[in-house]
Amino acid sequence: MELYQLRTFAAVAQAGHLTRAAEKLFISQPAVSAHIKALEEELGVVLFTRSARGMSLTSQGQALLERAEAVLSQAGELERAARALRHDLTGELKIALNTDAEFLRVRQLLAALRAEHPSLGVHLPQNMSHFIADDVRAGTLDGGFAYGECPPQGLEAMLLCSFRLVVVGPVEWRERLADATWADLAREPWVWYSDALPCHASVKRWIEPHSCSLSKVAVTDYEGTIRALVQSGAGMGIMRQDEGERCVELGEVFIWRGDSLPMNAYFLYRRDRDADPAIRAVLSALRRVWGQDGGSC
């Protein structure tokens, strides 16, 4: 058997679905199916039951998953030990972005890494904070950026900065709503965050004391969609303050004068990767880019 087959086995077990596992592994769905089939044939057991809902581990699969994960962990430790013996880091890190690269200072991060480790490549997939945390835990990502009021459980998290979320609206609505109450805003249409976003629970707690029920004309996972729809007059929305202020300067939105919501940006990685030279290189570069203890964005 091959390590890539075990990685696919673990990814399908974690995702419960061939397509989602393929996305996490950055390979095609037929390739995922072929890996699982080949592994089942070699082991002589059925690892998954297949249904319209996805893939579920059989009892045999459940019994073997822990062993497969242990093999993958040991292989990762071997690779990291080999990296530590080399003077120059090589290979490719997978670091997921949860928002725009400019806000996350990705250009500066890559420049810092290239200066110290020119042979170390970086792959930058995009996803939501919640799924990034899951993939870092599963080991399909080396690290990733995420928003939250506090770090996700079970992961190491470097605080990069603190920022605020603000309520924004179409610029044409400014005179009518700039000094509105939450009750007034609740009567307007809203472009809202998906439940999967970590900000969603925080925003919900933010609004709950005002006993407001918002009218949602659209729900999205993507910040850019909220920005575009608010600018076009579809409804109210929530943005990072820095982004909202840029849009105000361009005459595209107004920022409500009421309260705002504090939020943090983190870099996430697994605790068992703390001694990995590549992760140490990323953390060192992040400290240079963001400052040792994080700060305001």
Does residue 61 sit in the same domain as residue 103?
A: no
Q: What's the mean pLDDT in 215-221? A: 86
Does residue 73 sit in the same domain as residue 120?
A: no
Does residue 75 sit in the same domain as residue 98?
A: no
> Token digits for 57?
């581990």
Q: What's the mean pLDDT in 69-74? A: 89
Sign of CA dihedral 269, 271, 272, 276: positive
Does residue 116 sit in the same domain as residue 16?
A: no
Measure the CA dihedral 129/135/139/142, to 10°.
Answer: -40
pTM score of the predicted model: 0.69
Does residue 60 sit in the same domain as residue 118?
A: no
Does residue 97 sit in the same domain as residue 79?
A: no
Specify the number of domains making up the chain.
2
* Domain end point (choices 38, 64, 84): 84
Q: What's the mean pLDDT in 69-77? A: 87
Does residue 148 sit in the same domain as residue 267?
A: yes
Chain centroid offset of residue 54 CA: 23
Does residue 49 sit in the same domain as residue 178?
A: no
Q: What is the CATH number of the domain that holds 260?
A: 3.40.190.290
Q: What's the mean pLDDT in 96-107? A: 95
* Domain end point (choices 27, 62, 84): 84
Does residue 75 sit in the same domain as residue 102?
A: no
* Domain end point (choices 49, 84, 119): 84
Residue 88 predicted with pLDDT over 90: no
Does residue 183 sit in the same domain as residue 230?
A: yes
Residue 294 predicted with pLDDT over 80: no
Range of the domain at 131: 91-297
Contact 134, 15 (CB under 8 A): no
Q: What is the CATH number of the domain that holds 39?
A: 1.10.10.10
Binned at pLDDT 50, 70 and 90, residue 211 comes out as low
Does residue 77 sit in the same domain as residue 144?
A: no
Does residue 144 sit in the same domain as residue 218?
A: yes
